[in-house]
Chains A and B, each alone.
Chain A
Amino acid sequence: MTNPHATIALHPSSCTSCMLCVRECPDWCISIEAHAEPDPDAPQYSNARRPAMKNVLDSFQIDFSHCLWCGICIELCPFDALFWSEKDMVSGKSRSEVVYGIDELAASLPSAKRLDGTPAPQLDEPPSGRRKKS
């Protein structure tokens, strides 16, 4: 039997490092490192005090040794970057094996679904939640 909530998948290019999931996770098991750099795609205004910035994700970790599988991070992510995935349940012999980084979390994308049941975007697909540049 497959478990639709076996693990959590991250679509890295959808994540804006907004920190909401990190701050709302009741178990403090998500941690993010990110930096800001000028956003080349943003409109440029001559009177802007500083250039429009965008956050770039450097690392994203979920420590599954603490995770409650509560799904709060998935439900609240405003950019649709986190998904439930059917991939094998997280397991490991030591704690370090169950701390997943970007690559491990993205590896769960193929069997990940949005909350409405449609398939999650794959690694080579563009961000799902952000407005398209017009």
Chain B
Amino acid sequence: MTLTTQLTGDRQQDGARWIDVAPENWHSLHAELQREGYVRLEWLASVHEGDDNFQIVTRVTDVDVQSPVMVSMHCDSSEPVTLSDLFPIAQFHEQEARQLLGVQFAGLADGVAFDAPIAGHPLRRDFALQARLDKPWPGAVEPDAQARRRLTLPPGVLAEWQL
């Protein structure tokens, strides 16, 4: 399948075709894939990469769920455009990303994925998890107190969270 939308990357990996695309082509690429028969959006996932950088990935397949295509873009929190007009299921995943990561999708309907009060955006890397503050890190134990080793720090816990 040759695509007319401009791609920034196109490779075969782990049995799927991986396509990278710029944020401005995100919607048009998915529209083109849908016209080509890729009518199932299996999921849309968002990852926080620090500061205001996010990666958003979708997996789309044809009706036979064969030859999956993974589409990925790197964007900031205000660049994405909703895919919910093409694939209704995208609404849930995008509302989830908005609620948990603070990514805004232009054109996405109001509403929340999880009907529970969530303060802040807990899936962002800079979100201080209460569980990480309440309990001392068990890895700080050093059995041989005389051994001069580099101080180990808990992974994923930012220095400014430490009280």
- Residues of A at the B interface (CB closer than 8 Å) are 17, 19, 22-24, 28, 30-36, 50, 53, 55-56
Contact = CB atoms under 8 A, between A and B. Distances in A.
Interface residues on chain B, size class: 10 to 19
Closest 7 CB pairs of A and B: A36-B144, A23-B139, A34-B143, A31-B138, A55-B143, A17-B143, A22-B139
A22 B137 CA distance: 9
Interface residue SS majority, chain B: loop
B122 to A, nearest CB: 15
Contacts of A30: 138
18 contacts: A22-B139, A22-B141, A23-B154, A23-B155, A24-B155, A28-B138, A28-B154, A30-B138, A32-B141, A34-B143, A35-B144, A36-B143, A36-B146, A53-B144, A53-B146, A53-B147, A55-B143, A55-B144
Contact of A23 (B135, B147, B152): B152
A28 B141 contact: no
Contact of B141 (A19, A24, A56): A19
Nearest to B139: A23
Contacts of A19: 139, 141-143, 152
